[in-house]
C-alpha cells in the first residue's frame, strides 16, 4: 500500500537535513497568501488545511453544503478540480467525468452546484451570476484570490500535523501557526491521537467530529470483501470496514486520485472472484471507475457526525448574519 513518507510523521535527521528547502517553500507560500484578494458580495466559507493529502475537507464541505441547503440557501461550491483537464471557471455538468473536472468535483456536484478552476475569484463571479448567495470552498486556505469570511482549518486526528515541518521535510503546506492565523476555527475529525491541538493557538475555537459510514455497510457485515481505495489515507477506509464487521480478504491501496486502468480493474475483479469476495471501494474512487466495472463494485460512503452540531450551525449562522448586516450598512453609502 502506498503512503506518505514515514519520516513525515516523526522528526529526525532527514527532516532536519531537508529543513532549508522547507524554509524556502514556506516563504513562497507566505508571499503568495499575502496578495490581495477579491471580496465577494456574498459570504465565503472555506474548508481548508495545512497538510497535503486528505484531512477530510471534502467531507466537511459536503456536510456544510447540506446544512446550508436545509436553510434554503443557494450555496455553490468552488474548488480547483485537481487532476481535471478542464480550464475554469467551469460548472460541473451531468456529462463530466473525473478526468475532466476531478473526482472530488463530481462528489460535490451531487450535492450542490459546483465550479472548478484555479482562479477562485473568477469561479465565484460565475457562481454569483448563476444565483449563488453563499460560496463554499473545498480547499483554498492557501489561495489568496478570494477573501474568506469563515476559514475552517480541518485536521485529521489520526495523523495531525505529522512532524510539523513544511514540505519536503514534512507534510505541511505552510507552518501550522500561519494557517491557524488565517482561520476562524479548527475542525478535528476523529480523536486527536497526535496531540495536534497543542500546536494551535489557545484562542482558536476547536470543533470536533467523527466519520460515520453510510448505510451501505450493513449489507457487508459478515461478508467476504476485497476493498480497494485510491485516497490519501486508504488505511482509514479499510479500518472502518473491518470495525463494522466485514471480512477483509485483502487490502489494496492506490495513490490518491489514481486513474484506474482497464487492466488494473480487470485484475481486481478477477482477484475478487477467485477469493469469493465482493469488491468494495469509496465514492471518490467509484467516480473514477469505468462504466463497465462500476456496477460490479459496492460503494461505501462516509458522513460526518459532529460532537456538537449546534456549534457548527452557530458559527455558520454568525458569518451569514454578519455579512447581511454589513450589506445593510454599506447600502446607504452607495446611494
How much is the pLDDT for 1? 40
- Cβ burial 235-271 (10 Å sphere, 16+ → b, else e): ebbbebbeeeebeebebbbbebbbebeeebbeebbeb
Strand pairing of 90-91 and 114-116?
Answer: antiparallel
Q: Which CATH number fits domain 215-300: 3.90.25.10, 3.40.50.1000, 3.40.50.2300, 3.60.60.10?
A: 3.40.50.2300
CATH T-level topology, domain 38-210+306-321: Rossmann fold (3.40.50)
Per-residue pLDDT of the chain (335 residues; tens, 9 = 90+): 446 788 999 999 999 999 999 999 999 999 999 999 999 999 999 999 999 977 899 999 999 999 999 999 999 999 999 889 998 899 999 999 999 999 999 999 999 999 999 999 999 999 999 999 999 999 999 999 999 999 999 999 999 999 999 999 999 999 999 999 999 999 999 999 999 999 999 999 999 999 999 999 999 999 999 999 998 888 889 989 999 999 999 999 998 889 999 999 999 999 999 999 999 999 999 999 988 899 999 999 999 999 999 999 999 999 999 998 877 776 566 55
How much is the pLDDT for 2? 45
Omega before residue 168 within 30° of 0, cis: yes
Full-model pTM: 0.93
Give the residue range(s) of CATH 3.40.50.2300 domains in the chain: 215-300
Distance CA 333, CA 335 (A): 6
Give the residue range(s) of CATH 3.40.50.300 domains in the chain: 38-210+306-321
The residue assigned the cell 450555496 is 75
How much is the pLDDT for 334? 58
Strand pairing of 302-306 and 298-299?
Answer: unpaired
How much is the pLDDT for 335? 53
How much is the pLDDT for 216? 95
User: Cβ–Cβ contacts within 10 Å for residue 94, how many?
Assistant: 5
Evaluate whether 224 touches 276 at the Cβ level (below 8 Å).
yes
How much is the pLDDT for 332? 62
Amino acid at each position: 500500500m502506498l503512503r506518505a513518507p514515514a519520516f513525515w510523521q516523526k522528526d529526525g535527521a532527514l527532516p532536519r537535513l531537508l529543513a532549508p528547502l522547507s524554509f524556502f517553500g514556506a516563504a513562497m507560500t507566505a508571499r503568495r497568501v499575502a496578495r490581495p484578494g477579491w471580496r465577494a458580495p456574498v459570504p465565503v466559507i472555506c474548508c481548508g488545511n495545512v497538510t497535503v493529502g486528505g484531512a477530510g475537507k471534502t467531507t466537511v464541505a459536503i456536510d456544510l453544503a447540506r446544512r446550508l441547503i436545509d436553510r434554503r440557501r443557494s450555496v455553490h461550491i468552488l474548488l480547483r478540480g485537481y487532476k481535471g483537464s478542464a480550464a475554469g471557471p467551469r460548472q460541473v455538468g451531468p456529462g463530466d467525468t473525473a478526468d475532466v473536472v476531478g473526482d472530488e468535483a463530481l462528489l460535490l456536484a451531487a450535492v450542490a452546484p459546483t465550479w472548478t478552476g484555479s482562479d477562485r475569484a473568477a469561479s465565484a463571479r460565475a457562481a454569483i451570476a448563476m444565483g449563488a448567495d453563499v460560496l463554499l470552498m473545498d480547499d483554498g486556505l492557501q489561495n489568496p484570490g478570494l477573501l474568506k469570511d469563515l476559514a475552517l482549518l480541518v485536521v485529521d486526528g489520526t495523523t495531525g500535523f505529522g512532524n510539523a515541518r513544511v514540505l519536503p521535510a514534512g507534510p505541511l503546506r505552510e507552518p501550522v501557526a500561519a494557517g491557524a492565523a488565517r482561520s476562524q476555527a479548527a475542525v478535528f475529525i476523529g480523536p486527536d491521537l497526535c496531540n495536534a491541538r497543542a500546536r494551535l493557538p489557545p484562542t482558536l475555537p476547536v470543533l470536533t467530529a467523527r466519520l460515520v459510514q453510510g448505510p451501505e455497510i450493513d449489507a457487508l457485515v459478515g461478508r467476504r470483501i476485497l476493498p480497494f481505495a485510491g485516497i490519501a489515507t486508504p488505511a482509514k477506509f479499510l479500518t472502518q470496514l473491518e470495525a463494522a464487521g466485514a471480512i477483509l480478504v485483502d487490502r489494496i491501496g492506490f495513490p490518491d486520485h489514481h486513474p484506474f486502468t482497464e487492466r488494473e480493474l480487470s485484475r481486481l475483479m478477477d482477484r475478487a472472484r477467485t477469493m469469493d469476495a465482493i469488491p468494495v471501494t469509496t465514492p471518490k474512487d467509484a467516480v473514477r471507475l469505468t462504466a463497465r466495472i462500476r456496477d460490479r463494485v459496492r460503494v461505501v460512503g462516509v458522513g460526518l457526525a459532529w460532537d456538537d452540531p449546534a456549534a457548527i450551525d452557530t458559527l455558520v449562522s454568525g458569518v451569514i448574519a454578519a455579512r447581511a448586516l454589513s450589506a445593510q450598512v454599506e447600502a446607504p453609502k452607495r446611494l
